[in-house]
Amino acid sequence: MSAPGAFFAGCAGLTLSPDEAAFFRASDPLGFILFSRNIDTPDQILRLTGDLRAAVGRDAPILIDQEGGRVQRLRAPHWREWIAPLDEVARAGVRAPQVMTLRYRVIAAELRAIGIDVNCAPCADIARANTHPVLLNRCYGKNAPTAASIGRAVADGLLAGGVLPVLKHIPGHGAATADSHLELPHVDLPRETLRDQDFAAFRALADLPMAMTGHIVFDAIDATASATQSPAMIALIRDDIGFDGLLMSDDISMHALSGDMGARCLLSLKAGCDVILHCNGEMAEMEQVAAASGTLGSQAQARADHALALRDVPAEDAKALADQWQALMAEGAA
């Protein structure tokens, strides 16, 4: 069997169109990502995830962002609503690691029930006084030990339910004061500060199977390119932080990056990303991404195989887990 395409793709709506199915059949992306535009009911998502996998003829991974707070694609009335992670950690106090593990076991059970097996979490970014509001309450704490401890709890909860965690935004987005969806942030902290704080949280989680880069320039290391497209930054992620899992770009269509989609992909892959993430489902862009990304290299394929093997875990009971989570939260409030 030939290697799949070195990209993740989105689709436009609630169902897979014939044109999309034909494109995915021909380009064979490694996997897919769903957004709110793709979400209606559990039955609808089951059909969509089944159709996406049928298009590529294999058990392709299907990603989603289900963090809680502002970033949760699955919402009431069909799914539980979750407060923002930073607020949950504060509310839970000393029980935060146990609470967050249970929270993400519930989320994993809800995801697996509708055919989704990768969640783009944990966020190990450190919350700082000037962290941009788009990220701030998605963080878990204000220092590396807390971010790493809660990040581990989140990852453990997901893995217990057979859902792959994606560590983000490596090597650290918390010091960015701009929104990378809209512009390219620059971080001007000294390398030693980054090493001991922001990067340290990711170093503690470097054994996780998948990670997502941040579109951020770290002036002290490479003032010319975002981490996604910087060979120096990818080398730091691999060598200094020690991450050897499957490394994907953040959404390649974000406005932090410049150039056409093909050029963005080529720069990211040349820098050392294993796979490109493209989210908006626009066919013209996806065609450029597929053409530029090519297929997974042998090392990237081995990393993908290792990660995907971790999905083989029996499904859990979301209601029973939610009852445990509520009981633990009640103990903390008593």
What's the pLDDT tens digit per position in 217-269? 999 999 999 999 999 999 999 999 999 999 999 999 999 999 999 999 999 99
Question: For the packed helices 18-27 and 283-293, what is the interaxial angle rounded to 10 degrees?
Answer: 10
Under 8 Å between Cβ of 119 and 167 = no
CA 241 – CA 205 distance, rounded (Å): 9
**Nearest-angstrom CA–CA distance, 83 and 71:** 10
Over residues 31-78, the pLDDT tens digits come to: 999 999 999 999 999 999 999 999 999 999 999 999 999 999 999 999
Task: Measure the CA–CA gap between 270 and 47, rounded to whole angstroms.
Answer: 36
Q: How far apart are CA 108 and CA 230, in angstroms?
A: 33
Encoded amino acid at 77, one letter: P
125: tokens are: 């970014």
Mean pLDDT (whole number) for 178-191: 91
Select from 3.90.1410.10, 3.20.20.300, 3.40.50.2300, 3.30.750.210 the CATH code of 5-41+64-333. 3.20.20.300
Q: pTM for the whole thing? A: 0.96
> Residue 216's Cα: distance from chain center in Å?
16
Q: How many residues does the chain have?
A: 334
- What gap in Å lies between CA 253 and CA 280, rounded to an integer? 8
Token pair, residue 77, equals 């009335």
Q: Kindly state the average pLDDT of the residues 76-93.
A: 96
* Active site residues per annotation: 181, 250
CB of 88 closer than 8 Å to CB of 100: yes
277 phi/psi in degrees, rounded to 5 = -105, 120
Q: Are 122 and 154 in contact (CB under 8 A)?
A: yes
Name the residue ranges covered by the structural domains of the chain. Answer: 5-41+64-333
